Chains A and B, each alone.
Chain A
Amino acid sequence: MSSDWPRVRLHVVTGKGGTGKTTVAASLALALASHGKNVLVCEVEGRQGLARMFDVDPLPYAETRIATGLRGPDGKPPGTVHALHIDPESALLEYLAMYYRLGRAGKALDRFGVVEFATTIAPGVRDVLLTGKVFEAVQRNSRNKGAIEYDAVVLDAPPTGRIVQFLNVSDELAGLAKVGPIKSQADTMMTLFRSPRTAVHLVTVLEEMPVQETADGIAELRAAGLPVGGVVVNLVRPRALPDETLALAGAGKLDKEAVRADLERVGVSTTKALVDGLAAEARDHAERRALEESQRALVQQMGVPTYELERLAGGIDMGALYDLAATMRDQGLG
């Protein structure tokens, strides 16, 4: 299936904590990097989640090649995935060097604690520095000689509750700097973030609070004029039972005698406890699936494309990331 987002250069991945935002960002990068495309995946929260996910050393403030993209069914060689860990101190020093040629003054700023102030205490500045570096990677130009030009950039962004504030850099600065170089740069960044070349994807799981937070997040993004991408429903329970069986399981009316006979036939010695246990597990499962269905209906009413990724009982490793990437590409996200 072809991508739903062919024009998007910047994929922002947000979501409530614990929904698997970093997993989705990492596998989306792998999916986008098929067909010889080069992709950069950035993280901004200092957690080094990408390094752990790809099982490499902690990432420096430098674009580091970490994986080969997902191989496409057409046999064309895949592209590469680079990763970048953006910390505000390095971003500020690079920014000053790139745009202002401050020379000795740059060092003086550091010595006087200005760098520390700007990156830890100063309101809004931290976010501007982080998003500024992402912006630079998307809009590579002649100022950054020798840098790799990427076909797409994936941002493992802050959680849903903070995403609008994070991307809305010019509004955040508006109260402070009405004119001046910082202000005009923030405005340029906003032009990209509000354009169809950006998509903000929201990761959720099929539970009440995350689904509610996703709906709120979509409304806030729209109010701020930021482009909403898709909703990625993560950790979906496997559909091991067909619907009619699920209904019977939920009502506690499974044919236990049939199950016992099947198990005996393939050499599993059955006890009443085993068969009752399996039926009870099926009942739990039916209850959870029913909850998922009601939440899924809410997600579908949000009016944005949705994608579903299955819960993997064994956890996430490199193989699992490629599996998820393939699912994303099949569904048209990557």
Chain B
Amino acid sequence: MSTTQGAGRATTRGKGRVGPLAAHPGTTTRLDVDALIDDPATGIIVCCGSGGVGKTTTSAALALRAAERGRKVVVLTIDPARRLAQSMGIEALDNTPRPVAGIDPAAGGSLDAMMLDMKSTFDEVVLSQASPEKAKQILENPFYIVLSTSFAGTQEYMAMEKLGQIHADAQERGTYDLIVVDTPPSRSALDFLDAPERLSSFLDGRFIRLMLAPAKGPARLMTAGLGLVTGALTKVLGAQVLTDLQTFVAAIDTVFGGFRVRAQKTYALLQDPSTAFVVVAAPEPDALREAAYFVERLEGDRMPLAGLVVNRAGPQPRGKLSAEEASAAVQRLEAAGDAPADGPGDPTLTAGLLRLHADRMTTLAREAQLRARFEAGHPGVPTAVVPALARDGHGLGGLRRVGELLADG
């Protein structure tokens, strides 16, 4: 799906919104979530955005809704909150998609879910690429152990790898027709897209050649300051660490060639028109700024953007009184004192209600302003606004409710 097709899925808001959320009535295009998930051409949906905006919940809700509307769906989640994992029955971290119990199969769809196990995904890649002897050598190297469990970028690489695997498998065996991917809570939203590029530049980099040099021994490099560098590294790291590192690089070099090819394939898959990126944000300055970076980056990398989901929006007001009018009325109530003895009245209650209303209106005005700023910089991005739920979603029922709100957004 290209960006233009994406815009075709979105419809200009038909009914005018009331209240401050109607920042630009008529110009805001609505992200039509149901059209997106119902379109058989949509094969992959990637949810991305900064941490704490409800990305994992959005992915799960989209996947559930798609499944109950007839798609054969698998959702790949990364480090979901315990309760969400429980509601989908994927508490075990075994890297295999499992059917989610309790979905409505009336429309002919199905839903599997899995949680990414970074280390076993990495191990599988090594085992599939290297000879048994070499694989053993790599799996036991201290650098590999740390790299595969705790390196801050490994999750991104492995999420890409797993997506590629599931997609290839689904193509071959027809297991799924829609893959929903939740991206890792990266320190930067862009790490996910950078993963293949960073891996490639690392493998082609001078550092790898430097580490491989003693094994291969081209004397030319020695003169170019290699002695100086290894000397410095020994001084800082210690001789043993350097030896471990050299063994690791030498061992992994052969394996990573294949891995790089796969990462580049996945990257191409993300650019395919059958992929749709959904940028998730909350109506907060930081989250919308990250969302803006992401939208720009997706355009720059020619990745198909479906639209923006703004979660946790303030609830719509129920009356037409402005924040200023409500605050002024509170002041007049306080100045007027007690209610007349012979008539109805409860100034404390009324002032409290007016304060709540003023608070709600102020919040909405701020959110509308933030979204208007986003839209000014990134016009035409189809948007779905999802109000904050008074209660946290529980189980599949909660996810279904979020799905409905997404579709209404």
Please give the residue numbers on chain A whose beta carbons come within 8 Å of chain B beta carbons, in ascending order: 16-19, 22, 45-47, 49, 52, 96, 100, 102, 104-106, 108-109, 111-114, 116-117, 120-121, 123-124, 126-127, 158-159, 161-162, 165, 172, 175-183, 207-209, 212-213, 238, 240-242, 245, 254-255, 257-263, 265-268, 273-274, 276-282, 284-285, 287-288, 291, 313-315
Contacts and interface: CB of A to CB of B under 8 A. Distances in A.
Given A17-B50, A105-B232, A240 B356 contact: yes
15 contacts: A16-B52, A18-B282, A19-B52, A22-B286, A52-B286, A102-B235, A105-B228, A112-B229, A176-B143, A209-B81, A255-B346, A257-B344, A262-B339, A273-B319, A281-B356
B392 A207 contact: yes
B146 to A, nearest CB: 4
Contacts of B207: 112-114, 116-117
B150 interface: yes
B205 interface: yes
A180 B234 CA distance: 9
Given A114-B207, A162-B152, A241-B352, 11 more contacts: A47-B187, A100-B235, A113-B205, A113-B206, A159-B185, A180-B239, A242-B348, A258-B339, A262-B346, A266-B332, A314-B366
Contacts, number: 242
Given A108-B225, A108-B228, A208-B392, A281 B317 contact: yes
B119 interface: no
A172 B232 contact: no
B357 interface: yes
B339 A104 contact: no
B341 interface: no
A172 to B, nearest CB: 6
B291 to A, nearest CB: 13
B219 interface: no
Contacts of A111: 206, 225
A161 B349 contact: no
User: Dominant SS at the A interface?
Assistant: helix
Given A18-B53, A259-B350, A177 B241 contact: yes
B325 interface: yes
Interface residues of B, number: 82
Question: Which interface residue of A18, A127, A238, A314 has the most chain B CB atoms within 10 A?
Answer: A18
A109 B232 contact: yes
Contact of B228 (A100, A104, A177): A104
A240 B236 CA distance: 59
A239 to B, nearest CB: 9
Contacts of A242: 348, 352
Given A18-B284, A259-B346, A262-B346, A182 B339 contact: no
Interface string B186-222: 0110000000001000100111001000000000000
B348 A176 contact: no
B353 A259 contact: yes
B210 A113 contact: yes
A117 B286 contact: no
Interface string B282-296: 101111000000000
Contact of B52 (A17, A106, A175): A17
Contact of B241 (A176, A213, A276, A288): A176
B359 interface: yes
A184 B210 CA distance: 26
Interface string B130-144: 000000000000110
B102 interface: no
Nearest to A237: B359
B2 to A, nearest CB: 31
- When A and B form their complex, which 9 residue pairs have the shortest distance between CB atoms, in order from nearest? A180-B238, A18-B52, A17-B51, A17-B52, A277-B318, A277-B319, A262-B350, A266-B332, A313-B362
B244 interface: yes
Contact of B229 (A100, A109, A255): A109
Interface string B89-101: 0000000000000
B358 to A, nearest CB: 8
B355 A240 contact: yes
Contact of A182 (B51, B241, B346): B241
B210 A114 contact: yes
B347 interface: yes
A124 B362 contact: no
Interface string B329-363: 10011001001000111111110111111111011
A180 B151 CA distance: 21
B357 A278 contact: yes
B302 interface: no
Contacts of B349: 241, 245, 254-255, 258-259, 262
B268 interface: no
Nearest to B284: A18
Given A121-B202, A313-B359, A265 B336 contact: yes
A33 B381 CA distance: 44
B320 interface: yes
Contacts of B231: 105
Given A238-B355, A261-B345, A100 B151 contact: no
B185 A281 contact: no
Contacts of A207: 392
Contacts of A258: 339, 344-346, 349-350
Question: Which interface residue of B202, B237, B315 has the most chain A CB atoms within 10 A?
Answer: B237
A261 B319 CA distance: 17
Nearest to B249: A117
B321 interface: yes
A179 B240 contact: yes
A285 B359 CA distance: 11
B238 A182 contact: yes
